[in-house]
Amino acid sequence: MKIKETNLPGVLLIEPTVFGDDRGYFYESFNEKKFAELTGLHVNFVQDNHSKSTKNVLRGMHYQIQQAQGKLVRVVAGEVFDVAVDLRKDSPSFGQWTGAYLSAENRLQMWIPEGFAHGFVVTSDSAEFLYKTTDFWAPQYERCLQWNDPTVGIQWPLSAEPSLSAKDQVGKLLAEAEVFA
């Protein structure tokens, strides 16, 4: 397993060690001991989620203002452009974003710690997206940052208008959003 830091402190890209031959391949998608050794983080995942979406579906930018969730995300079919935005008000990188292509082919994972909004857009015909969370879904605390807030300036690789849920269509601008103290 290799860990690569992104431009946002705390957001990490994780490349698993893959063992393959002419029969196929094997890799550990998560190993608590190795994760802790390489990142210094001791996380307890309580929920696994799996979504399937079609091309140009954009999900995000989601976060929970209480019961904040750390997320370890990956793609098992297709490709997405995955994004995290720092919403920690006292952080030097407040309001900044980072993004990476995650795919079944590259097997990269992204660690998004608590205090960040998270979202992705599907860049392949369809994609299956898996994520582990450090706290349970709490709809009463769920918030949504506007996916195209010009202040944040995420450079989404869109080939058409994104397909958004009703919730994502009414996300808040960063200037209006509840953020982490």
List helix spans (H) across 24-161: 32-39
- Indicate the fold that domain 44-169 takes in CATH: Jelly Rolls (2.60.120)
What is the band of 159 on the pLDDT scale with cuts at 50, 70, 90? confident
- The reply to whether 131 belongs to the active site is yes
The pLDDT of residue 120 is above 90? yes
What is the band of 125 on the pLDDT scale with cuts at 50, 70, 90? very high
For residues 20-27, give the mean pLDDT.
93
For the chain, give every domain's residue range.
44-169
- Which of 42, 101, 131, 141 is catalytic? The answer is 131
For residues 129-152, give the mean pLDDT.
98
- The reply to whether 63 belongs to the active site is no
For residues 116-123, give the mean pLDDT.
98
Residue 61: its pLDDT value, please?
98
Query: Quick one: how far is CA 139 from the chain centroid?
Result: 18
Calculate ∠ Cα 140-144-145, nearest 5°.
Answer: 150
Strand order in the sheet with 12-15: 2-5, 12-15, 109-112, 71-77, 126-133, 47-54
Distance of alpha carbon 15 from alpha carbon 19, whole angstroms: 13
For residues 56-83, give the mean pLDDT.
98
pTM: 0.95
Tally the residues of the chain: 181
Output the average pLDDT for the chain: 97
Give per-residue burial for 4-24: e unless 16+ CB within 10 Å, then b: eebebebbbbbebeeeeeeee
- Which of 62, 63, 101, 141 is catalytic? The answer is 62
